Structure 1
């Protein structure tokens, strides 16, 4: 399934392949605003990519995942947002996204993160332990698409704000 798959930290040389993988991965996704590549570039420029991993097979970058800090209105520190996560369409449904998510969460735990949250598909992220948490919200996102995973069994309460890089749309530099 994941023969010859390597998951490693992003390097400077990966910026263009990550851009290309991200564009391809979200190209046909109807719920996407098609700004994911700009979000990653903005997070990178702001030095807000706390964890940025690529999946590589036979020397080709075929997947990417980003984690960045979030702010929670109750002041709880050390929480991160997952996303975007991208896999080239020809390599989807082979466990690559799962491998990226598991490795990324492992690295967050090693950094003593307290938890991770995301906006995503309910059927996919529950298998990693993500769940909806009453009292923890992301304004403008229906609760059934906003998930959190606590590493210390403590869930903050309040509103989560993702890094300003998530507002990037490619219309300006920075």
Structure 2
């Protein structure tokens, strides 16, 4: 983990800063719908943030990651979706996102999660053990961008459905 970095669970006092970090992190991303901050807010309002962590450096919130339950069509239980993950642009490429992912996955293991999935960049998430699994799909997303990490048990088969908050198009 990068020096002088604290990863901890979010608190109510972090909500505004999480919003701001998320907006800033995705502002220049051409593939973003720029709704990530609203997704997090809706997940929080629905009590669907199973793990929500912040990264602090020098008493400043510089990153955030969210994990929420997903539904697998074969009935598999204990599966979670990773995302969004945000790091302030001036703090990117310093290992903060990696530290957030690693701590989040450790916390999922601690609560008995069976697996985690995400839509993301093909070259980034494989270093955490995520891989494409043809037997588990997320409809509407090219398979090379949908990743799965087994944390326990057998690999499910079927379709993954993320929380309805991920359908957010604008503030509610």
**Aligned position for 1:22:** 22
Q: CA RMSD in A?
A: 0.9
**Aligned position for 1:150:** 150
In 2, Cα distance between the equivalents of 1:86 and 1:67? 12
Is the counterpart of residue 115 in structure 1 residue 115 in structure 2? yes
Deviation at 1:153, TM superposition (A): 5.3
Q: Which 4+ stretches in 1 moved above 3 angstroms? A: none
Is the counterpart of residue 165 in structure 1 residue 165 in structure 2? yes
Deviation at 1:170, TM superposition (A): 2.5
Deviation at 1:40, TM superposition (A): 0.2
Deviation at 1:33, TM superposition (A): 0.4
**Aligned position for 2:12:** 12
TM-score (norm: length of structure 2): 0.98
In 1, Cα distance between the equivalents of 2:155 and 2:22? 30
In 1, Cα distance between the equivalents of 2:91 and 2:171? 30
Gaps of 5+ in 2: none
Deviation at 1:70, TM superposition (A): 0.1
**Aligned position for 1:55:** 55
SS of match in other structure, 2:48: coil
In 1, Cα distance between the equivalents of 2:171 and 2:62? 26
**Aligned position for 1:3:** 3
In 1, Cα distance between the equivalents of 2:82 and 2:159? 16
Deviation at 1:171, TM superposition (A): 3.7
**Aligned position for 2:82:** 82
In 2, Cα distance between the equivalents of 1:38 and 1:171? 6
How many residues align? The count is: 172
In 1, Cα distance between the equivalents of 2:31 and 2:83? 15
CA deviation digits over 1:120-149, x for unaligned, max 9? 000000000000001100010000000000
In 2, Cα distance between the equivalents of 1:141 and 1:170? 21
Is the counterpart of residue 71 in structure 1 residue 71 in structure 2? yes
In 2, Cα distance between the equivalents of 1:74 and 1:14? 36
In 2, Cα distance between the equivalents of 1:30 and 1:81? 22
In 2, Cα distance between the equivalents of 1:116 and 1:148? 6
TM-score (norm: length of structure 1): 0.97
